[in-house]
Amino acid sequence: MPELLANLNPEQHAAVTLPNEPALILAGAGSGKTRVLITRIAWLIQQGLASPMTILAVTFTNKAAREMMSRLQAMMPIDTRGMWIGTFHGLCNRMLRAHYRDAGLPQTFQILDTADQLSAIKRLMKGLNVDDEKYPPKNLQYFINNAKEQGLRPKDVDVTDNFNRKFVELYEAYDQQCQREGVVDFAELLLRCYELLAHNPPLRAHYQARFRDILVDEFQDTNKLQYAWLKLLAGEGNAIFAVGDDDQSIYAFRGANVGNMRDFENEFRVKHMIKLEQNYRSHGHILDTANHLIAHNSRRLGKNLRTDAGHGEPVRVYEAATDSQEAGFIVEEIRALIAQGMARHEIAILYRSNAQSRTIEHTLVNGGIPYKVYGGLRFFERQEVKHALAYLRLIDNPNDDTAFSRVVNFPARGIGARSIEQLADAARLYNCSMAAAIPYVTGKAGTTLGSFANLVAKMRAETAQLSLPETVEYTVRLSGLAEFYQGEREGQDRLENLQELVNAATAFVSEQGYGMDTPARSIPLRPGASNAPEIVSQDGEIEVLDAPTLTDPAQNPDVMTPLAGFLSHASLEAGDNQAQAGQDAVQLMTVHAAKGLEFSAVFITGLEEGLFPHENSAMEADGLEEERRLMYVAITRAKERLYLSFAQSRLLHGQTRYNVRSRFFDELPTETLKWLTPKVEAGARWGGRSDNAGWGRDWFSRGGNGGGGNSGGSRERDAYVADKTPLPNFANEQRAAEAGFRVGQDVFHTKFGEGKITALEGSGTDAKAQVRFKRHGEKWLALAVAKLQAVD
């Protein structure tokens, strides 16, 4: 084996060769984090300190897990497939499959993705006659997921008011519905696995005895439940090797808790904290720019990146009059970079929100520059694919009402809303699934439903012995989906995707190492492997642990059928998030999507107050700091060239917005920046006229307002002002004239409700009021815009 530790720098070397004790590795952007993680695993095994069996390595994305496995495989001759390397959800799924009985799940339990979950919730609420205007299904979904991620079951949630009580009630009903249907949502995978271990001491002891080394990637992104899960697995004696970067924590909005890093340090009494600060990616000016910016955040664990590369090019800054002019500049600059020999895929255009891509795409098309947009619908999320999967799910588990509702009348077979309602009523009455309730529905509805039941039964019978790809192909055909899309004018792409689903099934079978004719719906027997999936008996005793036929999932992953495995795969790994592959193309994506990637040249666009930092971030605690970290992530993606741009006006949501440049410019060093347009000092703008050419419109005129077009219901917008920094968007003179407010006055706001004015500032169109709302806390509002009414 080649020398594992060769070419590691001293910090990396130290991290890789730490003893089996809790460790926190603060890995800066571009510091060789993944390399350290993988080399650590290889080193532990090589030194005999661990075996592939005793290691558990967890990531957030399938991509990261795959990379870890393949690079590890390349580093040493071991079969990584049997190892416990995967995402939190993937590993929990694996554990639940192995111990489904102890977890209280049916063997063929299926996984609801976000869309499935929402439709399950809507169906639930409909059945219970809940007003979905008062209790929006999306909010309930958020409430449920949030509670689960805090480790809270309905009984654990604090009931503060009636509104809350209803949500808790619905949460409980939702869990019951899922249980009845044999499905689990994403958060449930984690919570159920956590509870499985927490409530089953022998099982917990088994896994604790086994996973002596737990490695966690992107630790800053873990949520409370994931942290608790790790803690449970670690027990008293096992070592967690956590790698992360608090400065790159950008997922607080989905529950990530950076505080876990500090908690980990304290609760595990971490003795080994190593900072990887040597950066191998960016030139000096770029790194200095990033360091300078992030220094404005408080409560950092503290880190400063350095590089041996020279200063390199300065960071170029461009101020455009409009968003299309900004795009024009970028396209010209890209043209020049390409002419200098830079590959197109080494160039990235980053933006804060997806809506910004349109103008840029438009300009790229006109300029004839190939590009790829990341984000958007993924393969397994496509309508036709989800339909086909729903049929497969019904074959596997007739009680899956989510799948049932999806396809009971697709393709259309004369089963209308009325019939489905009748069926749902019957199902509720007999407390059974919709499929099981079909015999109770009488009349014409009963007949048509009966023929659907026969169809599914026929599909189930005829696919009993078929392989997975055959099953998929058969399902697509018999369901009528193929025929339906053949008849559609724009169905060609969808047909191709259905064919692609058959290919995906073939690929899955081969990846899993099954024989191609392994029946899709029986648990495959491999030579030497036993298939008894339980190792814990009903009364909690572990029976087979020491037996020669040990059914450790790591040795025998076949605890589910190929079909169940494929369906899990489809839920857990929704497929590529990338547009058409193919030719060398410029890369377009959000800053979030760029995390973990690197490019020779990076354009960070739309650096305007309200956009980046995003205006909504002001509503959240520490929102601005997260935006700053986001900016930090964006900057550190660049290897050689970095461009920052912003526009004075921009078309957004059909209206022209006038923005000032992002406050982040005031937080960057002046030495590393090169302004391609004259730098206008902050404040000059508010004084009145900027002498900048191309400044065509009035600051406070509203694009489209009064310009004819829509009558009557023109929609108003609130400018919410954070940190007392005025956002000049959507100002409106007429309104300001009406303003005659005083401090202490009771006011009413259409969105935030009742409140009291606590402070006033500015005058005219610039007037702002601070209002303490009863339900929404204290906010600064631009009087020119906010629909604030005096209440007396």
Contact set with DNA (CB under 7 A)? 60-63, 87-90, 113-114, 186-187, 250-251, 253-254, 352-355, 358, 375, 409, 412, 414-417, 572-574, 577, 589-590, 592-593, 614, 616-617, 619-620, 623, 651, 653-654, 713, 715
Q: Give the DSSP H/E element, type plus range, for residue 26.
A: strand 23-27
Pick between residue 10 and residue 713 the one whose CB is nearest to DNA. Answer: 713
Cβ proximity of 558 and 526 under 8 Å: yes
Q: Give the DSSP H/E element, type plus range, for residue 777.
A: strand 777-782
Cβ proximity of 135 and 166 under 8 Å: yes
Q: Dihedral sign, CA of 393, 395, 399, 401?
A: positive
Task: Work out how close the CB of 132 gets to DNA at its nearest, in angstroms, rounded to a whole number.
Answer: 7
Rounded distance between C-alpha atoms, residue 626 and residue 634, angstroms: 12
User: Taking every pair of C-alpha atoms in the chain, what is the biggest distance, in angstroms?
Assistant: 85
Rounded distance between C-alpha atoms, residue 493 and residue 383, angstroms: 11
447 among annotated binding-site residues: no
Pick between residue 226 and residue 518 the one whose CB is nearest to DNA. Answer: 226
Pick between residue 46 and residue 577 the one whose CB is nearest to DNA. Answer: 577
Task: Work out how close the CB of 375 gets to DNA at its nearest, in angstroms, rounded to a whole number.
Answer: 5
Pick between residue 58 and residue 509 the one whose CB is nearest to DNA. Answer: 58
Q: CA torsion, points 222, 227, 229, 233, in degrees to nearest 10?
A: 120
DSSP characters for 740-768? ---TT-EEEETTTEEEEEEEEE--GGG-E
255 among annotated binding-site residues: no
Task: Work out how close the CB of 215 gets to DNA at its nearest, in angstroms, rounded to a whole number.
Answer: 17
Cβ proximity of 404 and 434 under 8 Å: yes
Pick the closest to residue 108 from 520, 542, 574, 543 (CA basis): 520
Task: Work out how close the CB of 574 gets to DNA at its nearest, in angstroms, rounded to a whole number.
Answer: 6
Task: Work out how close the CB of 410 gets to DNA at its nearest, in angstroms, rounded to a whole number.
Answer: 9
Residue type, 244: G
Residue type, 148: K
Task: Work out how close the CB of 518 gets to DNA at its nearest, in angstroms, rounded to a whole number.
Answer: 25
Task: Work out how close the CB of 171 gets to DNA at its nearest, in angstroms, rounded to a whole number.
Answer: 18
Task: Work out how close the CB of 784 gets to DNA at its nearest, in angstroms, rounded to a whole number.
Answer: 19
Cβ proximity of 556 and 531 under 8 Å: yes
540 among annotated binding-site residues: no
32 among annotated binding-site residues: yes
Pick between residue 414 and residue 450 the one whose CB is nearest to DNA. Answer: 414
Task: Work out how close the CB of 130 gets to DNA at its nearest, in angstroms, rounded to a whole number.
Answer: 13
| Cα-trace Rg, the chain | 29
- In 196-298 the beta strands, taken as DSSP E runs, fall at 213-216, 239-244, 272-276
Q: How many CA atoms lie within 13 A of 599 on its CB side?
A: 29
42 among annotated binding-site residues: no
701 among annotated binding-site residues: no
Tokens standing for 56? 């558990």
Q: Which residues have C-beta within 8 Å of that of residue 120, sequence separation ≥ 6?
A: 112, 174, 177, 178, 181, 183, 401, 402
Pick between residue 11 and residue 608 the one whose CB is nearest to DNA. Answer: 608
Pick between residue 574 and residue 604 the one whose CB is nearest to DNA. Answer: 574
29 among annotated binding-site residues: yes
Cα separations in angstroms, 248 against 26, 657, 785: 11, 30, 35
Cβ proximity of 643 and 599 under 8 Å: no
Exposure string for 353-364, b = 16+ CB within 10 A, e = fewer: eeebbebbeebb
DSSP characters for 534-584? -SB-TTS-B-STTSTT---TTT---SS-HHHHHHHHHHH-----BS---S-
Name the residues annotated as catalytic.
Answer: 33-34, 217-218, 248, 637
For residue 88, the SS3 value is helix
For residue 445, the SS3 value is helix
Task: Work out how close the CB of 412 gets to DNA at its nearest, in angstroms, rounded to a whole number.
Answer: 4
27 among annotated binding-site residues: yes
Tokens standing for 142? 């958020």
Pick the closest to residue 125 from 115, 138, 113 (CA basis): 138
Beta bridge partners of 273: 24
Pick between residue 19 and residue 713 the one whose CB is nearest to DNA. Answer: 713
Tokens standing for 41? 């695993």
Rounded distance between C-alpha atoms, residue 741 and residue 75, angstroms: 70
Cβ proximity of 61 and 576 under 8 Å: no
Pick between residue 159 and residue 619 the one whose CB is nearest to DNA. Answer: 619
Rounded distance between C-alpha atoms, residue 302 and residue 374, angstroms: 32
Pick between residue 181 and residue 626 the one whose CB is nearest to DNA. Answer: 626
Enumerate the known binding-site residues. Answer: 27-34
Enumerate the known binding-site residues for ATP. Answer: 27-34
